[in-house]
Structure 1
Amino acid sequence: MKKLFLIMAMLFATTIIFAQSADAIVGKWLNKDGDAHIQIYKKGSTYDGKLVWLKNPKDENGKAKVDTNNPSANLKNRPILGLQILNDFSFDDGTWEDGTIYDPKSGKIYSCKITMNGNDKLNVRGYMGISLIGRTDVWTRVK
């Protein structure tokens, strides 16, 4: 009976640890250039992220920056602030994967995977095709 209780307790503890690590990505993150904050949140069983702060939220004319580099003409006037740039990440064994990242500076969408680098850093890897061909940026948690 004690062995069964011990096994059940260990299984329960493992489940709690797994659930906590899956949500470790949730929060506000500073991008590598230091000019944007991205709020990552859980939506159902996946994770998304949107731009919630910009160092320079206005263009040279004093107007709110818009998504001018988007290849879709009907999206070029949407505001950058509040724009969802991370989409549909699922957690699997320490990695958030199978999601996409939108780069408003280029107007391109990339496949993406994210891993934790300690408690306060994220490795955000955008790529086309296979993960070997891509770039990793390090984001820092905003406290």
Structure 2
Amino acid sequence: MKFHALALAACLAALSPAPATAQSGVTGNWITEDDRAIIAIARCGSSICGRIARILVPTPEADQRDVNNPDPALRGRMIERLRVLSGFRLDRGQYRHGRIYDPENGRSYDARLRLNRDGTLRVTGCVLGGIICQSQTWRRR
């Protein structure tokens, strides 16, 4: 009888969803592939977004402002705390339908995020409707 109770308990434990941990999703702090910034990814309403939490390699000539933004009214914004990821929704195992903003050139791209098996994050930005894409691998901080 003890064996059946233990077996039943083991089966129930296996069928129960595992508790969510901070390490199980894309939310958290990520170091960019070039080690120049930390991006804080979090829920923003019903989607996922990300901000530059910290600049690791300052560029003094730019005074850490969004000087390359095509909108002159936004060029005075500080790069730190700037939202660079927006609108991502989970779709077939990836966060899709989002946008990524690159303050180095002032452009925004269609983007997707995918958590890799090794715990890194693949960040892909695309132009021309996804015909031309470029990816980076970010690591969790």
Bin of the TM-score, shorter chain as denominator length: 0.7 to 0.9
Matched, 1:138 2:140: no
Asked if 2 retains the 8 angstrom alpha-carbon contact of 1:127 and 1:133, the reply is yes
SS in structure 2 opposite 1:130? helix
Q: Distance in 1 between matches of 2:51 and 2:111?
A: 15
2:28 paired residue number: 27
Q: Which amino acid aligns with 2:78?
A: P
SS in structure 2 opposite 1:24? coil
Q: Distance in 1 between matches of 2:97 and 2:29?
A: 21
Q: Which runs of 5+ in 2 are unaligned?
A: 1-10
Deviation at 1:40, TM superposition (A): 0.1
Q: Which amino acid aligns with 1:29?
A: W
What RMSD over aligned residues (CA atoms) do the two structures have, in Å?
A: 2.4
Deviation at 1:93, TM superposition (A): 2.2
1:51 paired residue number: 52
Provide the aligned length of Structure 1 versus Structure 2.
129
Deviation at 1:58, TM superposition (A): 5.6
SS in structure 1 opposite 2:129? coil
Asked if 2 retains the 8 angstrom alpha-carbon contact of 1:102 and 1:109, the reply is yes
Q: Distance in 2 between matches of 1:79 and 1:57?
A: 12
Q: Distance in 1 between matches of 2:139 and 2:104?
A: 20
Matched, 1:122 2:121: yes
Q: 1:110 to 1:48 in 2, by over 3 A?
A: same
Asked if 2 retains the 8 angstrom alpha-carbon contact of 1:31 and 1:138, the reply is yes
Q: Distance in 1 between matches of 2:89 and 2:34?
A: 26
Asked if 2 retains the 8 angstrom alpha-carbon contact of 1:69 and 1:105, the reply is yes
- Identity among equivalent pairs (%): 30
Q: Which runs of 5+ in 1 are unaligned?
A: 1-5
Deviation at 1:119, TM superposition (A): 4.7
Q: Distance in 1 between matches of 2:109 and 2:63?
A: 25
Q: Distance in 1 between matches of 2:21 and 2:125?
A: 25
TM superposition outliers: structure 1 runs of 4+ over 4 Å: none
> TM-score scaled by structure 1?
0.79
Deviations 1:30-55 (A, max 9, x none): 00110100000012221000001101
Greater gyration radius = 2
